[in-house]
Structure 1
Amino acid sequence: MSDLLDVPVTTLQGAPTTVRELTGGSAALVVNVASRCGLTPQYGALEALHEEYAPRGFTVLGVPCNQFLGQEPGTAEEIAEFCSATYGVTFPMTGKLEVNGPGAHPLYQRLTAAPDAEGKAGDVQWNFEKFLVSPSGEVVGRFRPRTLPDAPEIRTAIESLLRPE
């Protein structure tokens, strides 16, 4: 799965890059995000995780997606402004991607092959589905949208991948 890290993406600012460059070789929680969703307040907990664990080799990677009831309709500039002003987001973000269906981005084609704790792989259910990726590019955890970013099972999984304090 290490090829997952080499998948080309574009930053929210429009620059071509790869998942590896955006995550800096760290463990990463890849999350499809939206600004107008009932789960949007999860941005706050995602930013807190990013800040807490970054010194130990972790990042959150936000992936804006407008496939769920059009809940991410804004431009890249509007998304960046909303995330910064409303939630103080500092973690890296890609440009908008499709996560399901025939237009699913190659990143999500790889991520959605991974099963969740119940053994179910396949389509992303909704905004704020979370995939934990090891520094080597292996998907080691999948957490459904309603699982809060700071839930014990996510924290435990992240901590298992981090450098000691």
Structure 2
Amino acid sequence: MSTSIYDFNATLLNGETVSLDTYRGKVLLIVNTASACGFTPQYAGLEMLYRNMQDRGFVILGFPCNQFGGQEPGDAKAIGEFCQLNYGVTFPIFAKIEVNGDQAHPLYNYLKHQAAGVLGTEAIKWNFTKFLVNRAGQVVERYAPATKPEDLSDAIAALL
């Protein structure tokens, strides 16, 4: 059984597999993203958080997902170009994954189990659900899609 997020691997948009142990000692915000969602403008707020706090040991990990309304239909190249051209994203974006169901990425199964959502449900309800992870790799909090990135700055700063 996994004891922290460091037990998982994930694949970046460029196809490189990365151990999340790479991020050991950092405060992380893990977000399932989409390019054609009403919450997509949150990329701007996420990028601002990242740029303002990355020097203090903060990293955002974006995981594109097409399970909600087909709002992330593109391939890795299209996702990367969209994020860069529209929002200047510089934080790591991973290959498209599923966050719910039988094909859900093991990292997301772990995150959902560690921090259940509203009324104790584990399923991710929509794009831009956010998980805040402390420097020890433990999930501290789960935030709803409607929670704006800028509203997380105090919680993130407290862990830095």
**TM-score under structure 1 length normalisation:** 0.90
Structure-1 residue corresponding to 2:95: 95
Structure-2 residue corresponding to 1:12: 13
Structure-2 residue corresponding to 1:144: 144
Q: How does 1:118-133 map to 2 (within 5 A)?
A: 120-133=120-133
Conserved? CA contact 2:117–2:123, under 8 Å: no
How far apart in 2 are the matches of 1:3 and 1:117? Answer: 19
| Structure 1, unaligned runs of 5 or more | none
Conserved? CA contact 2:65–2:97, under 8 Å: yes
**Greater per-residue helix proportion:** 2
Conserved? CA contact 2:59–2:91, under 8 Å: yes
Amino acid at match of 2:124: V
How far apart in 2 are the matches of 1:2 and 1:47? Answer: 29
Which secondary structure does the structure 2 equivalent of 1:82 belong to?
helix
Structure-1 residue corresponding to 2:110: 110
Structure-2 residue corresponding to 1:56: 56
Superposed CA RMSD in Å reads 1.6
Q: Give 4+ residue runs of structure 1 displaced > 2 Å after superposition.
A: 114-121
How far apart in 2 are the matches of 1:126 and 1:108? Answer: 13
Change (3 A) 1:125 1:117: closer
Which secondary structure does the structure 1 equivalent of 2:115 belong to?
coil
Amino acid at match of 1:44: A
Offset at 1:115?
Answer: 3.1
Q: Could you report, residue by residue, the CA deviation over 1:111-145 in whole angstroms, capped at 9, with x for unpaired residues?
A: 00133586634011100000001121100011000
Structure-1 residue corresponding to 2:153: 155
Offset at 1:24?
Answer: 5.8
**TM-score under structure 2 length normalisation:** 0.93
| Structure 2, unaligned runs of 5 or more | none
